[in-house]
Structure 1
Amino acid sequence: MAQDIRDLFKDDKVAFETMPENHQDRFLKKLDEVLPVEPKKHHFNWLGIAASVILFLGLGFGVYSYFQPNIENSSVVVSTQAIKTKTLGDVSPGLKKVEDYYLASINLELSKMKYTPETKDVFDGYLLQLRELDEEYKRLSLELTESGPTELTINALIDNLKFRLNLLYRLRSQLKEFNTSETHVDEVELMS
């Protein structure tokens, strides 16, 4: 038969025994025998170190970025949005054919060129001129975009392409002459 514990305490039927004085000490001693506590060793916690390094690097980068001069507030503002420049092909399909013809011819001539250490000076001179013509072409394309197509701008773009192609033809003929004169020099040296 189940009894309510509250009734037992009220009736004072249960005698309360007190625990011996050294009961807790004996319990802890037995507990230490079963589960010995090892002294804590100081291990390097690599994960904690790595997290600290990452935290310091992140804070350093944040501080560095915060104290950099703000580009938007400077007097020179560089637009991150590239301006889509118009080409001859954007003006008319006929001009696109002309532009494609010249660009393909220029690329073909460039691919035929053989660069050697002996012809380095000749190549560098022509490539410098080609680079200047290319910059001029970009400037003219920008003018075409901003001002719209005019006969003067279109003719200047076509002339620029012609100049580049003619420049490559001259480079090719100069390289042929160089190779021919070098071959003659080699033949003369062999005969001597």
Structure 2
Amino acid sequence: MKQNIRNLFKQEVLQKKKLPDSHREGFLEKLSASKKKRKRITMLYKYAAIFSILFSIGFVVTNLFSKENNATDTALEIQLREIEKTYLENIDKEWQSFIVLTKDEKLIKRYEDKLGELNEGYQEISSQYKIDKNNMIVIEALIENLKTRLQLLQDIQQHINLLNKEHENTTI
């Protein structure tokens, strides 16, 4: 059964088919249509790849900037809270000291009203800060308001100390 394939082809007479004359042109048309189709698909893949790369880069960059901004905002907010806490503690301490030192109810009422006005201003500035946390002018205004309140109380304290010293000197 073993036979050489070459011998089979020599022995067998193959019928040769004749191809139509338009066969070559039809084949070339189909081949060029197939190449165009492949070219469109390849271009589509290229555009899809470019789009996905650009989208990925945009997503990564957006996340990085938002994380940096959040970290910066958080650090700034923490610092502002610390400053606010320190000032408010000092203001409260000075106010309590003022109430202890003075006996004049009119004076207490007058300065209580001034501090109330400053506190209202502080609340307005604080609401602006909640809207725009990156506005340095608003942050400076918050700190300046706290400084003004503390300075007012310290000035009152000094004035009362002077009055008390004068009162002691006149009674002695």
What TM-score do you get using the length of structure 1 for normalisation? 0.46
Q: 2:83 aligns with which of 89, 98, 113?
A: 98
Superposed displacement of residue 182, structure 1: 1.5
Q: Report what 1:131 is aligned to.
A: 116
Q: 1:181 aligns with which of 150, 166, 169?
A: 166
Superposed displacement of residue 125, structure 1: 2.3
Partner Cα separation in structure 2 for residue 140 and residue 90 of structure 1: 20
Partner Cα separation in structure 2 for residue 94 and residue 116 of structure 1: 34
SS of corresponding position for 2:96: helix
Superposed displacement of residue 172, structure 1: 0.4
Partner Cα separation in structure 2 for residue 141 and residue 90 of structure 1: 17
Please tell me whether residue 121 in structure 1 is matched to residue 106 in structure 2. yes
Partner Cα separation in structure 1 for residue 146 and residue 84 of structure 2: 8
Q: Report what 1:46 is aligned to.
A: none
Please tell me whether residue 142 in structure 1 is matched to residue 127 in structure 2. yes
Checking the alignment, whether the CA contact within 8 Å between 1:140 and 1:157 is kept in structure 2 is: yes
What code does the residue aligned with 1:174 have?
Answer: H
Partner Cα separation in structure 1 for residue 83 and residue 128 of structure 2: 19
Please tell me the root mean square deviation across aligned C-alpha atoms, in Å.
2.3
Give 5+ residue unaligned stretches, structure 2: 1-72
Give 5+ residue unaligned stretches, structure 1: 1-87, 188-192
- Percent identity of equivalent pairs: 26
Q: Report what 2:92 is aligned to.
A: 107
Partner Cα separation in structure 2 for residue 107 and residue 90 of structure 1: 26
Structure number having the greater helix percentage:
2
Structure 1 residues 49-98: Cα deviation after superposition (integer angstroms, max 9, x where no partner) = xxxxxxxxxxxxxxxxxxxxxxxxxxxxxxxxxxxxxxx98952122211
Q: Which one is further off, 142-151 or 171-180?
A: 142-151
Moved over 3 A (4+): 88-91
**Distance change (3 Å), C-alpha of 1:89 and 1:120:** farther
